[in-house]
Structure 1
Amino acid sequence: MKTNIVDHITDVMIENDFSGTVLVKNDKKTLTVKSYGYANRSEQILNSLDTRFGIASGCKLFTAIAICQLVEKGLLSFDTKLKDCLNDSFPFFDKEITIHHLLTHTAGIPDYFDEELMDDFEELWIKNPMYHIRNLTDFLPLFQNQPMKLQVGERFHYNNAGYILLGLIIEQTSQIKFADYIKENIFKKSGMADSGYFEFDSLPPGTALGYIDFPNGTWKTNIYSLPAKGGADGGAFVTVNEMDNLWDAFINNQLLNGKYTQQLLTPYINTNDDSSFYGYGVWIEKNENEIFKYHIMGYDPGVSFHSAFYPKSLTKVIICSNKSDGAYGIMKEIEKEILK
């Protein structure tokens, strides 16, 4: 590791006009922690170690852990069929879709935001105002009456709607609202008191606003670009320290027993090349048949997030940004400089 890693990361942040907070730790010490940019540009409030950031799809891991907890308790199985655990109507969905298919993005169902077909998330809210999207059931009209996109199990197709369904399964099985279940069974157990699924029009103190920058130098916040409250597919807010706590609790079997922790971390499906796989709510990258990293990521208008656990070095990286991009470039530099 270079002795000037903090200075190097700072230089990269400045070069990329990064806005957010970065934390890198191994099992012995903090390797680097650095914030840059503003949590609130209008008031010139700086990002800090305690800033709460949106992490978009990064919290699919929370949904997967919750499902595994219910399986561990014997209330579900990974082979349970969608038709047997949700009362909602999906007239065109294949009756053979299981929880395993939903967790691994292989269910073949239509997505409400299909990244293979769409590139502007804001198009969704023309007919379905984002300020109405506050509960998981509010997402259903966006996809529940559409035909299947693929055959069940045909291939990996990253799918946000599948994780909305998993959240509804959590609600119906536990009889607890999704956000409350995650708070009680994951956040509290992980020491994540400041994390949560917050509504855009009632954000708690210390929460970063997400910013969308335009080529002419102007910008806007993302309050009209995303659902008013995130769902089981994404939208929680965390601090970098609390995301570090989550990795510790998860890897040390405090959220699931060892059997189900390993089931979640199993590389079930190849995503796009020989080294990239998906488990349950987590991406898995191999290097010559050895696990290089378990990682999660999230991108929304005004949000970019990357976080990873590297089992060989027991290193954790958390990069939270309140801009639409920037986290990936910092992650690559950290991997180049620290993980040698």
Structure 2
Amino acid sequence: MDEFTPDLDGFSGVISIRRGDDVLGEWAVGVANRTFDVPHTTETRFGLASGTKTFTAMTVLSVVGDGLLSLDTPARELLGPDLPLIADDVTIDHLLTHTSGIGDYLDEEVDALAPLTLPVQQLDSTPAYLPMLDGLPTKFRAGERFSYCNGGYVVLAVIAERAAGAPFTELVANRVFAPAGMTASGFPRSDLLPPGTATGYKDDGRTNVFELPVVGSGDGGAHSTVADLHRFWVALRAGRLLPRELVESALETTTADAGDGRGYGRGVWLEEGDLVIAGGDHGVTAVSRHDRSTGITVSALANIEVATFARTREAMQRIRERVGGAE
């Protein structure tokens, strides 16, 4: 085990370090399915939880690029009579930057792992989330401050569907996954996971099938691999997903410190010069960190709740010292 092997103690999943077409290091530990003792491989698919928000943001920005929306479009224009407690001045950009102030069905400032208010099996499409998003009073005036909002990204999914005239999961597949070459990524049903997909496990050993929506939407539920996440960063920065000005819009700092010293762009966390996808939920932990200067991607995907931010940060620091240089 060389000095650049990341911390694997207590980890169950895959950690990957890539640059361009090169795999600089990859480690698969633990099992994807405990019942049948199926080990993880470097090609295992994992749930991304809130890492999905990055793909939601890119999908919405793609719809903006087509002229079907603008960042200044009021959400109300697409919502009509639905979700009447969302204020008239809330825009697409407020939702993208977590500054909308709308009430959140899963408010992480209160309880990040609170149970859902609808049976998870009912949440099988983006429109099915509407009753869960309704009746939540405004927290603060739009644009006043950053407040991470899961529901805001489901609202973005609703808006994208209505603006582009297609189901949200199809929009992500056609506007993000396909052009990025992310052939192993998608929104599978939690009760019908495709082969090669990790089952998520809670701390008590039970699976997460009763904790999360059966089909994800704008704030969670996408599944991917370490290879596909690296492909995403490469495709985004190469301009294959969005026009150049919208790429820069996605990656610019909209909040300098959203907590723990991390900044936020539009669907992307910003930390120490890295672009970051991050998510965590019952039986899911996901972080993918990309260094713009070197083109290195460090991804850690797990099917348990385990610290990954520190692991990926330390791995990135070590590999930068080892390989150095710009892309």
Name the TM tier (shorter chain).
Answer: over 0.9
Q: Which residue of 2 aligns with 1:149?
A: 139
Instruction: Identify if the C-alpha distance between structure 1 residues 164 and 88 changes in structure 2 by more than 3 Å, giving closer, same or farther.
Output: farther
AA aligned to 2:181 is: G
How many angstroms apart in 2 are the aligned matches of 1:261 and 1:332? 24
Q: How does the TM-score come out when normalised to structure 1?
A: 0.90
The answer to whether the Cα contact below 8 Å between 1:5 and 1:32 also exists between their aligned partners in 2 is no
Match of 2:13 among 3, 20, 23: 20
- 1:252-291 aligned at under 5 Å gives the runs 252-272=238-258, 275-286=261-272
SS at match of 1:269: coil
The equivalent residue for 1:184 is 174
Deviations 1:9-56 (A, max 9, x none): 2xx21x2x1000111112463221110000001101011111110011
Q: Which residue identity is paired with 2:182?
A: M
The residue identity in structure 2 corresponding to 1:296 is: I
- Residue 221 of structure 1 deviates from its aligned partner by 0.7
RMSD: 1.7
- The offset of 1:140, in angstroms, is 1.9
- Matches for 1:27-106 after TM superposition, within 5 Å: 27=20, 29-106=22-99
Match of 1:303 among 284, 290, 314: 284
Contact 2:72 2:93 in 1 (8 A): yes
Contact preservation (8 Å) 2:298, 2:316: no
Q: Report the AA paired with residue 64 of structure 1.
A: A
Letter in 2 for 1:107: S
Deviation at 1:267, TM superposition (A): 0.5
Tell me, in whole angstroms, the C-alpha distance in 2 between the residues paired with 1:165 and 1:272. 21
* 2:118 corresponds to: 128
1:241: Cα distance to partner? 0.8
Q: Is the 8 Å Cα contact of residues 113 and 281 (structure 2) preserved in structure 1?
A: no
Check conservation: 2:289, 2:312, Cα contact below 8 A.
no
Per the alignment, do residues 28 and 196 of structure 1 end up closer, same or farther by CA in structure 2, a change over 3 Å counting? Answer: closer
- Structure-2 residue corresponding to 1:4: 2
Q: Distance in 1 between the 2:85 and 2:227 partners?
A: 43
- State the TM-score, normalized to the length of structure 2: 0.94
Match of 1:160 in 2: 150
Give the partner amino acid of 2:284: V
SS at match of 1:34: strand
Aligned residue number for residue 325 of structure 2: none
Partner of residue 220, structure 1: 206
Check conservation: 1:156, 1:270, Cα contact below 8 A. Answer: no
1:305 match: secondary structure: strand
Letter in 2 for 1:220: R
Q: In 2, Cα distance between the equivalents of 1:78 and 1:312?
A: 28
The structural deviation recorded for 1:147 is 1.2
d(CA) in 2 for partners of 1:48 and 1:87? 46
Listed one character per residue, the Cα deviations across residues 228-259 of structure 1 (whole Å, up to 9, x for unaligned) are 11111111010111111111111111001211
Amino acid at match of 1:251: R
Structure 2 CA distance for partners of 1:330 and 1:276, relative to 1, 3 Å: closer
Distance apart, 1:136 and its partner CA = 1.4
CA distance in 2, matches of 1:273, 1:44: 38
Deviating above 3 A after TM superposition, structure 1's stretches of 4 or more consecutive aligned residues are: 271-275
Secondary structure at 1:313's aligned position in 2? coil
Superposition map of 1:191-270 within 5 A = 191-214=181-204, 219-270=205-256
Q: In 1, Cα distance between the equivalents of 2:251 and 2:282?
A: 28
